[in-house]
Amino acid sequence: MLVLLAAILIAAGSSFYFLVVQKPATPANNLHYSTFKTEHGWGYDILVNDRIVIHQPMLPGKAGFNGFTTEQEAGTYAQNVIESIKSGTHPFFGQKQTQRSGVSSAQSK
């Protein structure tokens, strides 16, 4: 199950990179996010114009299907992903990104 989740995250990241990051014609101001409630917490979508390019219904890099605890936590995480993309770096997932987003490890468990 963990291997499948890892494969999905890699495929999503690769697709995102080839569809969005490598297109210099995509204006950065068209990159935004929206949060949504799930039965397991909160998630977020990263959109270019109105097209979803990342759909994140659960905590990335964590086992299980738990979402973010609050809408604010999901929004903070999404904003950090957007900042990574705008700066030209590949967004990363897991403990390092959680620390960068200002979410403590106690909050993200």
Q: What is the pTM of this model?
A: 0.61
Q: With contact defined as beta carbons under 8 Å apart, do 77 and 94 qualify?
A: no
Q: What is the pLDDT of residue 88?
A: 80
Distance CA 41, CA 55 (A): 14
* The pLDDT of residue 104 is above 50: no
Indicate the domain borders of the chain: 2-108
- Per-residue pLDDT band at 99 (split at 50, 70, 90): very low
Q: With contact defined as beta carbons under 8 Å apart, do 103 and 72 qualify?
A: no
Distance CA 72, CA 98 (A): 13
22-44, pLDDT tens digit by residue?
A: 555 555 668 999 999 999 999 99
40-71, pLDDT tens digit by residue?
A: 999 999 999 889 999 999 998 888 889 999 99
- Per-residue pLDDT band at 101 (split at 50, 70, 90): very low
